[in-house]
Amino acid sequence: MKLKLLFLLTFSIVSVLSYGQKVKTVTLNTDMRCGHCQERIVNGLKQQPGVQDVSSELLKKTVTITYDKKKTSPKQLITAIESMNFKAEVAKKGKKSTLKVEPCKGEGEEGCEEEKEKKAS
């Protein structure tokens, strides 16, 4: 009986604490092309209000963002990425990205143009 009561009490506390959670996660397709592009997007998103965590997959060209839905939204996160001169859209499960990814100037062994400028400085 005590075990059942303890279980019910624990379940009730967890339910109350999780009710009204403001944290959401969204995955966005981007047009990042290299490690430098990836770094710019991730660091830029981390500076946005309400963003709690950002992870990215360069090969899939996606970023997954955990955010406070009272402080930001997927639309605002896309706008932030676009302000960094990249494209973004909400990733839809089972659907391919509709974004056209242009190659970096000098992409390949030498890296993108911005990376070369960074190294030259």
What's the pLDDT at 104? 72
Q: Is residue 41 part of a domain?
A: yes
Q: Tell me how far apart the alpha carbons of residues 100 and 33 are, in angstroms, rounded to a whole number.
A: 11
Question: Which portions of the chain are predicted below pLDDT 70?
Answer: 1-21, 105-121
SS3 23: strand
Over residues 85-103, the pLDDT tens digits come to: 999 999 998 888 888 877 7
pLDDT at 103: 74
User: What's residue 89's pLDDT?
Assistant: 96
CATH (domain of 79)? 3.30.70.100
The total domain count for the chain is 1
pLDDT of residue 18: 46
> Would the pTM count as exceeding 0.85?
no
Output the pLDDT for position 109.
Answer: 46
The answer to whether position 76 is within a domain reads yes
Find the domain containing 57 and state its range.
Answer: 21-92
List the structure tokens of 44: 């830029």
Q: Is residue 6 part of a domain?
A: no
